[in-house]
Amino acid sequence: MKFEIVPPQGVRGIKFGSSIEKIRRQFGPGFQPFKRSLDNAVPSDYYPNLGLFAYYKKSGELEAVEFERPIHVMFDGMDLLKVSFNTVRTHLRSRDKELEEDYDSVTSYALGIGVWAPEKQEHPLKRCERVIVFPKGYYDEFNLRQAERRSASKK
The torsion angle over the Cα atoms of residues 108, 102, 17 and 81, rounded to 10 degrees, is 80
Q: Classify residue 38 as exposed, middle or buried by CB count within 10 Å of its CB (0-12, 13-18, 19+).
A: exposed
- pLDDT average, residue stretch 67-83: 97
Residue 121 CA to chain centroid, in angstroms? 21
Task: Give the H or E element holding residue 72.
Answer: strand 72-75
d(CA 153, CA 15): 33
d(CA 110, CA 8): 8
Q: Quick check: helix, strand or coil at residue 109?
A: coil
- The reported pTM is 0.89
**98-143 pLDDT per residue, tens:** 999 999 999 999 999 999 999 888 888 999 999 999 999 898 866 5
The pLDDT score that the predictor gives to residue 139 is: 84
Instruction: Provide the pLDDT confidence category of residue 38 given band limits of 50, 70 and 90.
Output: confident
Q: Is 70 exceeded by the pLDDT of residue 146? A: no
Higher pLDDT, 82 or 121: 82
Q: Is 60 exceeded by the pLDDT of residue 149? A: no
